[in-house]
Amino acid sequence: MREYVISEKEAGLSLMKYASKTLSGASAGLLHKFLRNKNIELNGRKATGKEILSPGDRVAFFLSDETFDGFHEEKKRVENTKGTRSLDPDAILYEDEDYLFYNKPAGLRSQSDDSGRISLNDMLLAYTGCEGVFRPSICNRLDTNTSGIVMCGKSVSGLKKLNQAVRDHRMDKHYRAIVSGILEEDMHLVAFLNSEKDVNRVLVSDMPAKGYKEIITDVSVIKSGAGLTYAEVGLVTGRKHQIRAQLSHIGHPILGDMKYGSRVSLKRLMLHSYRLSLPEDILDGLEIVAPIPQDMREVINDI
């Protein structure tokens, strides 16, 4: 028999979800069978799996060691974080028990992919640890060569609230960008975007068409000169590559963005997720600001 006490971070999971994470190698049908046969109990009682777990709840698995270990992968999860570098404390913009906001540098991937390169999510796991079934996770992705604010959920409650706010478009997101050419005035841009299948690129049209979704972007000029414009960009909608593709579509690609028409090749895009205003139900509407990185400041100073 194995028994686990639910932590503050794990609270909010359903018993079925907790069991599926604990016995990740078991099918849903098998887990339901374990529940019916009282191989899985909650606080010493038979359970259905629909129960929502609270801190201090006890989940017991009445299975042989061989059966339990055959479905359990916690050791593997812990091993996967060994040797991974942790988060840079100086880049943590805000942190508590439920949330962490991080100033991601350009060049760091947000999530792991087939390349095997370290990602911000890997670093988050190394920083928070992998105890229990809950795994902290990032809630938004930035392109590898874009810097700035990434939201992370450190608990079930925190992760749910951030993800729901993102889905409901209740985040006020503002970027800073250096674009090619001179923008004479602020702009309210409306267009339509479609992702190309099997290609990490999007298309933009001025007219609606099948497969295209509306995109809205606000651009406020901060200063311009030397053939460049430094601007704040506000996302009204938020779609893949929206800022990059929409600015390119109006003839002002982001400096260093070779994919979308920049003629200047740089190690990074001159695009930075600068300011995030949270909804009132998350940290009382706190505003998070990520300082402009040095390499962007150097270009801005020459404008």
Distances in whole angstroms, Cα of residue 287 to Cα of each of 24, 277, 282, 284: 37, 4, 10, 9
Question: Which of 109-118, 246-255, 263-272 has the lowest average pLDDT?
Answer: 109-118
Residues 6+ apart with CB under 8 A from 101: 92, 93, 94, 95, 149, 150, 151, 152, 276, 288
pLDDT score, position 160: 95
Identical fold at 2-72 and 78-167?
A: no
d(CA 111, CA 142) in angstroms, rounded, equals 9
pLDDT at 87 over 90: yes
d(CA 140, CA 133) in angstroms, rounded, equals 21
Domain positions in the chain:
2-72, 78-167, 172-301
| Superfamily (CATH) of domain 172-301 | Pseudouridine synthase (3.30.2350.10)
Q: Tally helices (H) and strands (E) across the chain.
A: 8, 15
Mean of all residue pLDDT scores within the chain: 92
pLDDT score, position 81: 53
What is the topology classification, in CATH, of domain 78-167? Pseudouridine synthase (3.30.2350)
pLDDT score, position 73: 65
d(CA 9, CA 217) in angstroms, rounded, equals 36
Query: H helices within 133-290, ranges in order?
Result: 156-167, 242-249
pLDDT score, position 80: 53
pLDDT at 266 over 70: yes
Q: What is the DSSP string of 51-108?
A: PBP-TT-EEEE---HHHHHHH--HHHHHHHHTT-----GGGEEEE-SSEEEEEEPTT-
Arithmetic mean of pLDDT, 93-100: 97
Global pTM value: 0.84
Beta bridge partner(s), residue 217: 189, 235
Question: Which of 62-71, 123-132, 230-239, 281-290 has the lowest average pLDDT?
Answer: 123-132
pLDDT digits (tens, 9 = 90+) for 221-241: 999 999 999 999 999 999 999
Q: Is 296 helix (H, G, I), strand (E, B) or coil?
A: helix
Arithmetic mean of pLDDT, 185-193: 97
Structure letter (DSSP) for residue 14: B
pLDDT score, position 69: 85
Q: Which of 90, 117, 115, 114 is nearest to 104 (CA)?
A: 90
pLDDT digits (tens, 9 = 90+) for 64-83: 988 888 888 654 444 455 55
Arithmetic mean of pLDDT, 268-272: 97
Counting beta carbons within 10 angstroms of the beta carbon of residue 209, is it exposed (0 to 12), middle (13 to 18) or buried (19 or more)? exposed
Q: Domain 2-72's class? A: alpha beta
Looking up tokens 């777990």, which residue turns up? 53
Q: Residue 206: what are its φ and ψ, rounded to 5°? A: -80, -20
d(CA 30, CA 219) in angstroms, rounded, equals 53
Distances in whole angstroms, Cα of residue 282 to Cα of each of 60, 75, 200, 247: 33, 33, 32, 31
